[in-house]
């Protein structure tokens, strides 16, 4: 500790000998680390935003299907009696809410216009607890209890069919036996979610109406959709359900299994973070290396005199390395303070990127982004700065420790 205090005092004294150069280096480091802190928080915030929007829009954290349904999307592959599984899920640790659906592809017709649709029979009460579909109803209203032959359409689909609330629509789809079944529904509302698959193709009907229309047994479903309490509960829930129900002809899929594109976005975000960290390490290395090499060149005679007076090369090496650490710490503290303040401020107030709303909705991203500053993100930034600083300080410190006293003291 005694040697450490000496190194720190010497480091501060040596850096203060050239305040302009030291100040510019600290400022450059601070700006770089502040930018990295804010970009990391932005990245974590928008990835959290994408995951939550993707899960809560429609998919859920997990889905249980009859084995093979996700590949075939055939209503023949449905769950005939979901009650035992629903009873098991009720109160299960990590489960926040559960709903059931019937999914089938079909055709919608109205007043001479027709379009392909993805029909989803929903439990009108449970669906509110699992997804945000009910909140996307812009015109008309959500279903009411006891309502039959009602349909809610995506607004783009309704525009193609030239219908609105109160109009009639004929839906046609294949039953489990292969027969084409048709039914007349009345439009109760229009959905606008900003997601193309929903707005362009979605037709929601009460699940009881879907069973009668498609000649399904009472209680039959194609999907059991689970909303977990947190993303950390998804993998444990999948393992537990697979262990208990794997032999029952069911498959348990996570949100990223259902749409691999969402998982690819998450991996892209991780890769982006590491690329930015690598760039910061290079910038830190260049800034610090330049400063320390100039400092060493100005102090060659000083190092030579120290060596002539008996200072060991390892002590000279340690002194220069500690100067590097002090330099990076000064820039790091300022950078963290600035980047952290920006992240916290915009994390509370949001960063409005509404001009890019169309592109963001395609990625399930809200136009207002809330940066998320995490301990893991801060640790990555700190690690990158320290690694860059230590690498940058190695060469000047090694060169200073290897100077010959007689040669160094003749340096002008």
**Other beta carbons within 10 Å of 407:** 10
Cβ atoms 206, 122 nearer than 8 A? yes
Mean pLDDT of 359-380: 71
- Indicate if the pLDDT at residue 57 is higher than 80: yes
Task: Report the chain's mean pLDDT, rounded to a whole number.
Answer: 81
User: Which candidate, 150, 158, 145, 148, places its Cα nearest to that of 190?
Assistant: 158
Higher confidence at residue 390 or residue 238?
238
Beta bridge partner(s), residue 183: 171
Residue 132 φ then ψ, to 5°: -105, 15
Beta bridge partner(s), residue 115: 108
Give the pLDDT confidence score for residue 6 in this predicted structure: 62
User: Which candidate, 108, 109, 111, 66, places its Cα nearest to that of 85?
Assistant: 66
CA distance 324 to 8: 11
- Indicate if the pLDDT at residue 344 is higher than 60: yes
- Residues 6 or more apart in contact with residue 1 via CB below 8 angstroms: none
Question: Which run of H or E residues covers position 227?
Answer: strand 223-228
Longest CA–CA separation in the chain, Å: 100
CA distance 254 to 391: 42
CA distance 52 to 50: 6
CA distance 158 to 156: 5
Structure tokens at 274: 């590491």
Give the N- to C-terminal CA distance of the chain in Å, as an integer. Answer: 35
Split at pLDDT 50, 70, 90, the class of 26 is confident
Mean pLDDT of 80-105: 91
Split at pLDDT 50, 70, 90, the class of 271 is confident
- Residues 6 or more apart in contact with residue 412 via CB below 8 angstroms: none
- Residues 6 or more apart in contact with residue 345 via CB below 8 angstroms: none
Higher confidence at residue 310 or residue 279?
279
Give the pLDDT confidence score for residue 359 in this predicted structure: 54
pLDDT digits (tens, 9 = 90+) for 197-210: 888 999 999 999 99
Cβ atoms 198, 136 nearer than 8 A? yes
Torsion of CA 134, 140, 145, 147, to 10 degrees: -130
CA distance 116 to 106: 6
Give the pLDDT confidence score for residue 167 in this predicted structure: 92
CA distance 209 to 148: 6
pLDDT digits (tens, 9 = 90+) for 210-232: 999 999 988 899 999 999 998 88
Give the pLDDT confidence score for residue 15 in this predicted structure: 66
Split at pLDDT 50, 70, 90, the class of 116 is very high
Angle between helices 375-401 and 19-54 (to 10 degrees): 150
Give the pLDDT confidence score for residue 205 in this predicted structure: 95
Higher confidence at residue 355 or residue 59?
59
Split at pLDDT 50, 70, 90, the class of 299 is low
Task: Indicate the range of 172-181, 289-298, 324-333 predicted with least confidence.
Answer: 289-298
> What does the domain layout of the chain look like in residue ranges?
2-54+263-409, 68-248
Q: Is 312 exposed, middle or buried (0-12, 13-18, 19+ CB in 10 A)?
A: exposed
Higher confidence at residue 88 or residue 390?
88
Q: Is 343 exposed, middle or buried (0-12, 13-18, 19+ CB in 10 A)?
A: buried
Give the pLDDT confidence score for residue 307 in this predicted structure: 65
Mean pLDDT of 32-52: 81
- Indicate if the pLDDT at residue 8 is higher than 80: no
Kindly report the pTM of this predicted structure. 0.71
Q: Give the total residue count for the chain.
A: 412
Percent of the chain with pLDDT over 90: 29
- Indicate if the pLDDT at residue 1 is higher than 50: no
Residue 383 φ then ψ, to 5°: -60, -40
Instruction: Assign 404 to helix, strand or coil.
Output: coil
Helix segments in 196-308, DSSP class H: 196-201, 207-214, 234-245, 255-258, 260-298, 300-308
Higher confidence at residue 291 or residue 240?
240
């Amino acid at each position: 500790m005694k040697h450490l205090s000496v190194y720190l005092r010497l480091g501060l004294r040596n850096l203060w000998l050239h305040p302009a150069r030291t100040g510019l280096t600290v400022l450059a480091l601070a700006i770089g680390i502040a930018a990295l802190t804010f970009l990391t928080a932005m990245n974590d915030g928008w990835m959290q935003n994408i995951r939550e929007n993707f899960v809560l829009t429609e998919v859920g954290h997990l889905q249980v299907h009859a084995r093979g349904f996700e590949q075939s999307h055939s209503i023949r592959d449905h769950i005939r009696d979901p009650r035992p599984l629903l009873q098991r899920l009720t109160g299960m640790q990590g489960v926040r809410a559960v709903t059931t659906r019937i999914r089938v592809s079909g055709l919608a017709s109205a007043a001479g216009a027709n379009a392909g649709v993805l029909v989803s029979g929903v439990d009108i009460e449970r669906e509110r607890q699992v997804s945000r579909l009910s909140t996307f109803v812009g015109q008309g209203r959500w279903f009411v209890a006891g309502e039959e032959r009602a349909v809610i359409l995506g607004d783009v689909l309704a525009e193609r069919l030239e219908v609105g609330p109160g109009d009639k629509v004929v839906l046609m789809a294949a039953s489990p036996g292969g027969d084409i079944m048709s039914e007349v529904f009345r439009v109760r509302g229009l959905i606008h979610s900003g997601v193309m698959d929903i707005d362009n193709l979605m037709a929601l009907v009460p699940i009881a109406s879907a069973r009668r229309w498609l000649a399904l047994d009472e209680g039959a479903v194609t999907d059991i959709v689970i909303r977990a309490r947190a993303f950390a509960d998804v993998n444990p829930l999948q393992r537990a359900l697979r262990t208990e129900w794997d032999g029952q002809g069911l498959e348990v899929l996570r949100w990223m299994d259902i749409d691999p594109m969402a998982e690819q976005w998450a991996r892209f975000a991780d890769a982006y973070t590491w690329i930015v960290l690598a760039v910061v390490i290079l910038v830190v290395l260049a800034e610090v290396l330049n400063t320390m090499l100039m400092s060493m060149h100005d102090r060659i005679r000083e190092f030579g005199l120290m060596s002539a007076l008996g200072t060991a090369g390892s002590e000279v090496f340690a002194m220069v390395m500690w100067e590097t650490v002090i330099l990076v710490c000064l820039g790091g503290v300022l950078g963290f303070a600035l980047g952290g303040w920006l992240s916290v401020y915009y994390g509370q107030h949001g960063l409005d990127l509404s001009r890019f709303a169309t592109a963001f909705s395609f990625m399930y991203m809200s136009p207002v982004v809330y940066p998320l500053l995490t301990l893991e993100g801060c640790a990555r930034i700190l690690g990158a700065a320290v690694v860059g600083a230590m690498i940058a300080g190695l060469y000047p410190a090694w060169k200073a420790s290897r100077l010959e006293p007689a040669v160094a003291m003749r340096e002008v």
